[in-house]
Structure 1
Amino acid sequence: MRFEQFLIRNAAANGAKTALVTDRRRLGYAELDDLSTRLAAAFAENGVKRNDRVLVFMDNCWEAAAAIFAILKAGATFSPINASTKADKLAYIVADCEAAAILTQAKLMPVVAEALALAPGHAPFVASTAAPGGRIPDGAASFEECLTAAPAPVRHGGIDVDLGMLIYTSGSTGRPKGVMMTHRNIDAASESITTYLRNTPDDIILNVLPLAFDYGLYQLLMAIRLGATLVLEKSFAFPQAIFDRIRTERVTGFPLVPTMAAMILQMRDLEPGFLPSLRYLSNTAAALPPAHIARLRELFPGARLYSMYGLTECKRCTYLPPEELDRRPGSVGIAIPNTEAFVVDDEGNRVPPGVPGELVIRGPHVMQGYWRNDAATERMLRPGPNPWEKVLHTGDLFRTDEEGFLYFVGRKDDIIKTRGEKVAPKEVETVLHAHPGIAEAVVIGVPDPVLGAAIGALVVLSDPTLTEKDIIRHCSRHLEDFMVPKIVEFRTELPKTDTGKVSRRLAAETLEPAE
């Protein structure tokens, strides 16, 4: 069924139950349902139609959650955009998906205005929350006034094979690609994940990850699917405040990324069992080191720890049952329910245990493809074992043990995972090369115990007066914060292959690790 039906159904069954907790507002299921219905009506009145794409350019707030379900109720496709996205990238996305509307916040309106100026010919409806004092930014309608629309359901005629979500992810070319997910894809992924996590309507899940990051987004989708409660925080910058929130709200589920785990394990004043309400912890984005797994289990003795692997193109691929942690702490487990995962060689033949190869995923949660990018789609979605299906070639190298448990070996492409985000080196290099004082640059990932990988840059200068701070400041003006290099080293020339092409592998061998 279409995914908004989960909200409608749970609002009818238990409308008074808390659906969402934020720093500014608590929303019950009936209230969230009503607000999203009103927003959907306002979108329709402003030209949003079935299958239109609508950008949600907000941080973690109740308005973003209401907007996502409103877009679905309007029959449209939502696209969550990281609040740190810069104008040139936002302009590319607006033009690429021909966005019919943008929902944003007053503090982000300058970025929206600049992006629209960079995307001539595109004039989406823009609704913004009010600035302090109640002023609505120029060029935007009032998000608050949209909530006053008559609560009449929009009759759009959509079905579950319509696109529900278009989520942009970095690609090896440096241009983000729009991953197309239908309502049926989202339904299948959320059902599978909530099954192995053993989620119930009694769960209270705390999420600090951006809703623009699919791991964070699915915490909202999974909670609404179940009729559970989501506690939505903006970041993990102040861990003690998050711990206080967990205690106050009696949180049962806490999704992590390795950066957060490293921060927790660096804290010296935490006693085992200090968060007794937690039933489970989960980790994805990058594998946790076995030593971190062991220490987390000591610190949270009453919680089950799920080590997982996934990618935006299918949301989740594998999970390690917690009872297997002692036997295989380095494994990312087995295929999630209703999924098949197997390893193949370059010819597409399945390989025996212990032999590295590319991981392939079959299942109803596999994407439909990349938005208007047939070439990239064909590289990732290839004919499967049955004539009617396509399977997902992940581009990541894995091996299995004799019992079929999977182990991550490495990446076939150059994408860097840092702080749980994917970064295309080409995108950072493009910004570096735009500086008039930089002649050449190559960007690589450097192993880092906290970030997973730090963004490192080797740079050849044409202006010898430039400093490391100058380059980082330049990158900060044009890139999201997680994409800004943490390490900059100067070279007189970059390592190259015999054909004269800059070699990332050789560059990685010469760059000093992060401290």
Structure 2
Amino acid sequence: MSAAPDPTVLPLDHLALRGAGDAPALVFKDRTLSYEALNHRLGQLAAWLARVVPEAGARPGARVATWLPKSELACLMPLAAVRAGLVHVPVNPLLKRAQVAHILSDSGARLLISNAARLATLETGDLAAAEVREESAVWAEAEGLEPLGPSAAEPDALAAILYTSGSTGRPKGVMLSHANLWLGAVSVAHYLGVGQADRVLAVLPLAFDYGQNQLLSTWFAGGAVVPLDYLMARDVAKAVERHDVTTLAAVPPLWVQLVELDWPASAAGKLRRLTNSGGALTEPLVRALRARFPAARLFPMYGLTEAFRSTYLDPALVDAHPTSMGKAIPFAEVMVVADDGREAAAGEEGELVHAGPLVAQGYWQDPVRTAERFKPAPAFSRMGGMAVWSGDRVRRDAAGLLHFAGRRDAMIKTSGNRVSPQEVEDAAIATGLVAEAVALGLPDPALGQAIHLVVRAKGDPEAGSAAFQAALARDLPGFMVPRVIHWRSQMPLGPNGKIDRAGLYQELSAAVQQA
């Protein structure tokens, strides 16, 4: 690995030109796209987009959304959209109509591409101003077009809006430039040491920054991506063996399932890299991963969508420091800021603040929340400029390694997904069956955190319980449906007259521990 990666920024769609022409770029169950084919196909898709979205030529920056599994179109769209002068808005395929409608409305998307089954779930008014195209019909029209050539977009031009839940309110769109995404790809490919011979199994949703980077960093390195929508952990193990996968990225709940599998030695031995984010690894899980995949280097990481990724731990240090977040990734400056604004001393807890060119451009059309999170870097910053103040509490040890201390906000992290408590609470109230609702994330060995919902019924809770649970299952994605519902005749109030969330959390935590 070189001393420092190249900071030169090119338009994002140039990633399709990085690999050897006949080398594999995308590997599906039934076919493989070479880099030459990847560039040709995304050029045709870009040409189709330029025809269908008039703003592509006249007013660059119009938003186009995809709501798809890991199909070819979903994989190509991050590059095809920007080649057409558009901004990509990927929608998590696990979301349901209410969340999708919000994203389409908030982003002002002019086009939604999805499959027939998902489109059939939408109702009148959900689409806002977006036109709709079914995925197979897109390819039927695009395959005969002359491909568009590589773009000449400026580094600061908007390339994508990724929607992420906040601790309160509905999902907010994080604005990412070509530079943000290009340098993120360069950084990860560099510190992971990914090369042309590598095959990366993409199991995470492409609507996540971590999931999308599986594509971008691999293509920067000239390697091959193997997209996989899996139902069971066993599917992941089979794909590793079938496609000679060398690199696997996952979140802690999936790692828990994977280490419990009885892996054939031939499959486990193929893996050379394991990368974790979306939640901290516990020491027992680190030990289990090291035992199950002894030939693989384990990269624990910490990140946030607003700055893509902040830190990674050198695999050589994992055995001695299994719970550390490591140090800053290339192109990032990560600081620990004490409560009085100075740089925290070794061992002192403070807020993690991230500066540098990976910092996003803010939240889409949301200056209030942008100002809360994106603020000038502290005076002692080397890079300066705008920084992301994460709200997460960390400490730096004497060796310079960072350790996670806790979250300032109430965000729930379950199965690798970030869930806004208010979104769950709003869905509960919208059923009309409850008057008050509080969603909390309680520790869970399999999920990281399990969603517990405390509610006060409008009528008889026994009579409405089944209907209430059915309504939540209908209106929320599976990962947002509460695992446990607690019915209360009244909610506890704090000194300020508000619901005592902290008291509820302590009470339920104690009950879970005793169970």
Q: Report the TM-score, using the length of structure 2 for normalisation.
A: 0.92
Q: Which residue of 2 aligns with 1:133?
A: none
Deviation (angstroms), 1:467: 5.8
- Work out the CA distance in 1 between the residues paired with 2:289 and 2:465: 36
Q: Which residue of 2 aligns with 1:435?
A: 431
Q: Does 1:360 align with 2:370?
A: no
Contact 1:342 1:359 in 2 (8 A): yes
Aligned to 1:370, the other structure's residue is in SS state: coil
Unaligned runs of 5+ in 1: 131-141
Q: Which residue of 2 aligns with 1:135?
A: none
Instruction: Please list, as runs of the form range in 1=range in 2, the aligned pairs for 1:8-157 lying within 5 A after superposition.
Output: 8-10=17-19, 14-46=20-52, 47-49=54-56, 50-111=60-121, 113-114=122-123, 117-118=125-126, 120=128, 122=129, 124-130=130-136, 142-153=137-148
Aligned to 2:307, the other structure's residue is in SS state: coil
Select the residue among 187, 202, 211 that pairs with 2:197: 202
Deviation (angstroms), 1:294: 0.5
TM-aligned CA distance change 1:404 to 1:273, over 3 Å: farther
Deviation (angstroms), 1:158: 2.8
1:177 maps to amino acid: K
- Work out the CA distance in 1 between the residues paired with 2:35 and 2:433: 55
Select the residue among 466, 481, 490 that pairs with 1:484: 481
- Work out the CA distance in 2 between the residues paired with 1:502 and 1:154: 57
Deviation (angstroms), 1:42: 1.1
Deviation (angstroms), 1:320: 0.8
Q: Taking every aligned residue pair, what percent have the same amino acid on both sides?
A: 33
Instruction: Please list, as runs of the form range in 1=range in 2, the aligned pairs for 1:22-421 lying within 5 A after superposition.
Output: 22-46=28-52, 47-49=54-56, 50-111=60-121, 113-114=122-123, 117-118=125-126, 120=128, 122=129, 124-130=130-136, 142-153=137-148, 158-235=153-230, 237-267=231-261, 269-270=262-263, 274-384=267-377, 385=379, 389-421=385-417
Deviation (angstroms), 1:475: 1.1
2:256 maps to amino acid: A
- Work out the CA distance in 2 between the residues paired with 1:391 and 1:437: 43
Deviation (angstroms), 1:469: 4.4
Q: 1:106-133 CA deviation, whole Å, 9 max, x = no partner?
A: 111123x42x62355x1x3322124xxx
- Work out the CA distance in 2 between the residues paired with 1:252 and 1:504: 44
1:377 maps to amino acid: T
Aligned to 2:503, the other structure's residue is in SS state: helix
Select the residue among 3, 21, 24 that pairs with 2:12: 3
Contact 2:433 2:464 in 1 (8 A): no
Contact 1:468 1:488 in 2 (8 A): no
- Work out the CA distance in 2 between the residues paired with 1:393 and 1:449: 29
Contact 1:104 1:128 in 2 (8 A): yes
TM-aligned CA distance change 1:152 to 1:208, over 3 Å: closer
Deviation (angstroms), 1:333: 0.7
Deviation (angstroms), 1:196: 1.1
**Bigger mean CA offset, 462-471 vs 92-101:** 462-471
Aligned to 1:353, the other structure's residue is in SS state: coil
Q: 1:320-369 CA deviation, whole Å, 9 max, x = no partner?
A: 11111122112111111222111112332211122211100112111011
- Work out the CA distance in 2 between the residues paired with 1:270 and 1:34: 38
Contact 1:103 1:126 in 2 (8 A): yes
Aligned to 1:369, the other structure's residue is in SS state: coil
Deviation (angstroms), 1:239: 2.4
- Work out the CA distance in 2 between the residues paired with 1:106 and 1:208: 23
Q: 1:390-435 CA deviation, whole Å, 9 max, x = no partner?
A: 1110111111111221111111111111111110000100011112
Q: Does 1:497 align with 2:506?
A: no
Deviation (angstroms), 1:291: 0.7
TM-aligned CA distance change 1:491 to 1:128, over 3 Å: same
Deviation (angstroms), 1:388: 6.5
Aligned to 2:82, the other structure's residue is in SS state: helix
TM-aligned CA distance change 1:391 to 1:435, over 3 Å: same
- Work out the CA distance in 1 between the residues paired with 2:127 and 2:226: 36
Contact 1:44 1:154 in 2 (8 A): no
Aligned to 1:7, the other structure's residue is in SS state: helix
TM-aligned CA distance change 1:149 to 1:502, over 3 Å: farther
- Work out the CA distance in 1 between the residues paired with 2:451 and 2:84: 40
Alpha-carbon RMSD: 1.9
1:254 maps to amino acid: L
Q: Which residue of 1 aligns with 2:3?
A: none
Contact 2:16 2:35 in 1 (8 A): yes
1:458 maps to amino acid: V
Q: Which residue of 2 aligns with 1:136?
A: none
2:260 maps to amino acid: Q
- Work out the CA distance in 2 between the residues paired with 1:155 and 1:331: 41
- Work out the CA distance in 2 between the residues paired with 1:307 and 1:437: 43
- Work out the CA distance in 2 between the residues paired with 1:388 and 1:239: 43
- Work out the CA distance in 2 between the residues paired with 1:426 and 1:323: 41
Contact 2:11 2:152 in 1 (8 A): no
Aligned to 2:375, the other structure's residue is in SS state: strand
2:386 maps to amino acid: K
Aligned positions, number? 495
Contact 1:181 1:368 in 2 (8 A): yes
**Bigger mean CA offset, 273-282 vs 423-432:** 273-282
TM-aligned CA distance change 1:241 to 1:85, over 3 Å: closer
